[in-house]
A and B are shown apart, each in its own frame.
Chain A
């Protein structure tokens, strides 16, 4: 079946450096992708999203890149801060109207080293 997966389960980055979290997806019917951040004991928090008609979208200190050719999604966090330490999930949603569920990857734990 289709799946959303992550290349690395853990990532450690020095404070102030940039980080890149990668995600591979295999469902060609997906047209909407989201990155969520989940801190310990909390629910996932929306970071940024991108639709399949785009290949890049920028937010505050975050950029999402979408490569539909190789079905790859990445989240770039610039100038990382201790508060960026969390588990990051990518999620995808199919094109079909009426199919609203998100399919989540297993997550990457990002640790910012002071």
Chain B
């Protein structure tokens, strides 16, 4: 079946602009995660959605970052007033239930000039 998809695959933007990154999880998966991966680094947790529960936003690095998940499916990660240090690959993952394997999408590579 279809895996996790993310769009766009690449995004180049100018410093100060806002960007939106989209994640389509695997159908039926109730949990959705966003991670950030800087060049040559491991993955940094950003935010987690589980069903109708309040999201775990503990990993968001600043108030310029926000995310929403509509209808328990598609999620959008928004970065306002982008900075050069926001340049990274943003990865989305979903899992069928709490405390189970996470399936990752291919990521969106964000470059802030």
Residues of A within 8 A of B (CB): 4, 32, 34, 36, 41-46, 49, 89, 91, 93, 97-107
Complex Cα distance, B91 from A14, in Å, reads 31
Contact partners of B50 in chain A: CB under 8 A: 100
Residues of B with Cβ closer than 8 Å to A? 4, 31, 33, 35, 40-45, 48, 50, 56, 58-59, 91, 93, 98-99, 101-107
Q: Indicate if the CB atoms of A104 and B42 lie closer than 8 Å.
A: yes
**If the complex has contacts A101-B48, A101-B56, are A46 and B103 also in contact, measured as CB distance less than 8 A?**
yes
Whole-angstrom CA separation of A3 from B9 in the bound complex: 30
Closest to B103 in A: A46
Known: A100-B31, A100-B56, A101-B59. A46 touches B102 (CB 8 A): yes
B106 partner residues in chain A, CB cutoff 8 A: 41-43
Shortest Cβ distance from A4 into chain B, in angstroms? 8
Alpha-carbon distance between A96 and B56 when the two chains are bound, in angstroms = 14
Name the residue in A42, A43, A46 with the highest tally of chain B Cβ atoms < 10 Å from its Cβ.
A43
Contact of A89 among B43, B56, B58 (CB under 8 A): B43
Task: Write 6 A-B pairs (CB below 8 A) sorted by A numbering.
Answer: A98-B56, A100-B31, A100-B48, A102-B33, A104-B42, A105-B42
Report the Cα distance A29→B91, complex, angstroms: 26
Q: Cβ of A100 and Cβ of B98 under 8 Å apart?
A: yes
CB contacts (< 8 Å) of B4 on chain A: these are: 43
